[in-house]
Amino acid sequence: MISQKKTEEHPFADIFSEDETEKNFLLSKPVCFIIFGKPGAGKTTLAHQIAQMWKCVRVEALPLLEEMIAAETESGAMLQSMLLSGNSIPDELVTKLMLEKLNSLEVSHFGYIVTELPSLSEDAMTTLQQVELIKNLKLKPDVIINIKCPDYDLCQRISGQRQHCSTGYVYTRDQWDPEVIGSRRKKKKDTHKYGKAEEEGEEEEEQEEEEAFIAEMQMVAEILQHLVQRPEDYLENVENIIKLYKDTILHCLEEVMAEHNPRYLIELDGNKPPEELFTTVVERLKFLNLRRAAVLTKLQSAEEEINDILENEELFRTLSTYKLIAPRYRWRRSRWGRMCPVALKEGNLFSGLPDFSVSFLGKMYCLSSEETLKKFLLNPRPYLLPPMPAPPCKVFIFGPQYSGKTTLSNLIAEYYKGKVVDYTTLVQPRFDAAREALIENTIAEATEAAIKVVKENLLIELQTKRQAEIKLREIEKELEKKESGVLPEDAALPSSVNEEGYKESQTNVLLEGTEEAKRKSDNTLDNLSSNIDKDDEKEITETSASQGHSQDLSYSQNLDLDEVTIEDSIEEVTANHPAVISMLEESLKTTKDMNFEHPYEKHAEILEEILKEVMEENKNRFSGAPKNGGWILDNCPVIKDLWMALIDKGVLPDMVILLSDTENNGKCLFNRIYLKHKSEIDSKILERLLDELQKKKQEEAAERKAKEEELRVEEEKQRLLEAINKKAKGKHRLQ
């Protein structure tokens, strides 16, 4: 139906075109199987055989869990810990894992075969929900295989199974029961006896069969003592399971099979051996016009080595002879050449390596790494579907002004559905804004530091002032004690120094902090000395002593209060404080020309951010577009440091275009510049010509004036000479 529809849409298309055939296969749905049948009917055995022949993925719980545990992933470690702790895997988790596998990339290429849906357990989902799940799968089953088997025969078969206690291998009744083996041999012997006449060598065949029978009976005798019957193989348990299947699942499956296309419904007799069932399925599939999944072949083995520096022609000639599928049939080169299809789909141009070369649909593909090889082996379809191979379109265009680079950028962007990134209008403004932010942050940090320094200076100054006041109070107290005669003997003033000089020397030593504190200390000492000289009374009453003691207590309390409130008494320091402004004057001068330590690294960082934004906005520029790319950079400066920064960031183009005009000394480019600014250039030329003409006129006028001046001077000289001659003649006549 698909081919007929496409033929009608494109009546002149070549249906035998190789590219069209490959495209149709890549767009086609893989064949998917589902097997129905009672428990123990042989679904798993048949699924294993079909998966090997058809190359599809067998989606079953046990192989899936074993695969995840062997992969040592986080989920696999969790499953292994659950099993080691003696817990069973929840049905909900098993169903989730199976659905993830059914929707995986591997299944979307190879197809699947399922035997465990729907299941008897309804802990996670009911039977109806499981049936709806089958109907709503992304890849719906194409072929349904139904294995029918009478209940009695199935119960006898399952109840006759025994398991080896050491190996875990399950033996059927005809493999371990001596009576069954003997009766089978007897029937075969009778059939052979009555079916044909005696021939030569018949006695030798009978002797060989006898020896084989004896060996088989010996093996049965050895394993018989190690065989045990599993609880699920008990007859009553088997009957209960079959009854549960018929009550809960069978009716739903009959509806599913009734809705399915009868052409793709295969019914089998479960009493026949597995080999015969598989043969029947293969014969039916031949007439259904179904195509099995295309297998990928790794061309180079571990023992074979190919030099990575080989030229493309030599490399493909060598790879084309590896692992031939038929004599004289060589692998052919694909349209990707040596480029990695996976990297190209992601928007990168990476050359493939011979060690990761594979063949698919008769063509060779070279992958760039082991990771890309794994992705390609899982499902090559997304990387080969049209429009691939398409260039990612990562272009830098350089050239002088008016060389046509902007026009070329727009044309390339229009053709490849890309976007032009103008460096001067996108990158430079962001860089200027970042630089302004850097300057503002630097000024803010300098302001905070200046405020902190000013506060510390004010605090030190205030502390010094308070300490000076404390020392003055101490001196005052000592003087009062000396007046009252309470000063201790060892603290008496030296006899060689008078009291007034001693006071001044002590105050000068204690008040070295500030000039204001010194002035206060000098005034205080002068007042104290005058009071001491005037007051000669030596008697001190008890009341004065008690008052002095109370003053000491209040003084110590005041000291504690002063230490607590010293910071509160400092005036508030802001950015407008004169001291802060004076400190910031030099910083403001240096920040005007401030820049980043590595400005071109900042340019590269901003360009990388812009390109990511452009790629995110333009990711759906066309169907199947590469993940990266789709941009053309214009007006980028040609600077070595900028280019090195771009290399470090990994922002590199796949193509660099340089426009230049080397013919006739750039005559074409100069002509283009002239036409672009014709009016301006013409006006300047006209202005220059007028200036030259005006200058020439001025020179001519000056020259004419100079000549006239010379003529006037000559005439004046001539008149003077004539006057002198006349005067000389007159004197001569008088004489």
| C-beta of residue 340 within 8 angstroms of C-beta of residue 4 | no
The pLDDT-based confidence of 627 (bands split at 50, 70, 90) is: confident
- Rounded Cα gap, residues 401 and 673, in angstroms: 8
- Rounded Cα gap, residues 565 and 285, in angstroms: 98
One-letter amino acid at 579 equals A
Q: Please, what is the Cα angle at 671 between 665 and 675, to 5 degrees?
A: 160
Q: Residue 557: is its pLDDT beyond 60?
A: no
Residue 536 burial (C-beta neighbours within 10 Å; 0-12, 13-18, 19+)? exposed
Q: Which residues pair with 145 in a beta bridge?
A: 35, 266
CB under 8 A, 24+ apart: contacts of 130-133: 131/252, 131/253, 131/255, 131/256, 133/99
Q: Which residues pair with 632 in a beta bridge?
A: 395, 420
371, 366, 298, 304: which is closest to 335 by C-alpha? 366
Looking at the chain, the whole-number percentage of residues with pLDDT higher than 70 is 81
Predicted pLDDT at 582? 80
The pLDDT-based confidence of 14 (bands split at 50, 70, 90) is: low
Please, where are the H alpha helices in 539-663? 542-565, 578-591, 599-617, 640-649
| C-beta of residue 323 within 8 angstroms of C-beta of residue 299 | yes
Chain centroid to CA 138:
29
* Tens digits of residue pLDDT in 128-174: 999 999 999 999 999 999 999 999 999 998 998 888 888 888 888 88
pTM of structure: 0.70
Looking at the chain, the whole-number percentage of residues with pLDDT higher than 90 is 37
| C-beta of residue 106 within 8 angstroms of C-beta of residue 57 | yes
39-50 burial string, b = 16+ CB within 10 Å, else e? Answer: bbbbbbebbbbb
Residue 711 burial (C-beta neighbours within 10 Å; 0-12, 13-18, 19+)? exposed
| C-beta of residue 419 within 8 angstroms of C-beta of residue 426 | no
| C-beta of residue 296 within 8 angstroms of C-beta of residue 341 | no
Average pLDDT over the chain, rounded to an integer: 81
Query: What is the CATH number assigned to the segment(s) 18-150+272-293?
Result: 3.40.50
Q: Average pLDDT in the 573-595 region? A: 76
Give the tokens for residue 543.
């009341």
Residue 15 burial (C-beta neighbours within 10 Å; 0-12, 13-18, 19+)? exposed
